[in-house]
Amino acid sequence: MPNTYWLINLKSEEYLKNSSNKRNQIFTNRDNKKVSRMLSGDMLIFYISDKNRFVGISEIRSDEAEELSNKNLSIKVKKINHLNINNSVDGDQIGPRLEYVKRWAPEKWRLAMVGSLHIISQNDYNLIDSSIKSHLN
């Protein structure tokens, strides 16, 4: 079965808090149904909404989320490519080109990012992945 490509929408403070935990990604309980569909090998793209930046990609490394004491969920991840927020990919450069946002006018593409967790196509993943890799140099 092919991988699923996930896009997580976070505020910068949430991203920085979570990125200090190098091997787990924390999700809120409201994303329980989506998180339960995640499988090892799926890819997770990080979008920072308040900075309008794509900052990294991680690979999901477990098939089940662990429920934490505060009702949040934790899933094991392996960082693949992550950038410093200041050197990350400008969302306005690639966001309007994503298949996922085609229902919205190009200038309103950010409306597609409402909510914290989204499934995107392999084409969208490849576009974001290549953009992040080009910023690694």
pLDDT in tens, 95-128: 999 999 999 998 999 999 998 999 999 999 999 9
pTM for this prediction: 0.92
- Whether 1 shows a pLDDT value over 70: the answer reads no
| Residue 79 near residue 58 (C-beta atoms within 8 A) | yes
Which token pair is 47?
């979008």
**Which residue in 81, 75, 11 sits closest to 48, CA to CA?**
11
pLDDT given at position 21: 66
Which token pair is 117?
């967790």
Q: Which tens digit of pLDDT belongs to each residue from 36-65?
A: 899 999 999 999 999 999 999 999 998 888
| Residue 126 near residue 100 (C-beta atoms within 8 A) | no
Which token pair is 59?
């690979």
Homologous superfamily of domain range 5-132:
ph1033 like domains (3.10.590.10)
**Pairing label, strands 66-67, 73-82:** antiparallel
| Residue 6 near residue 38 (C-beta atoms within 8 A) | yes
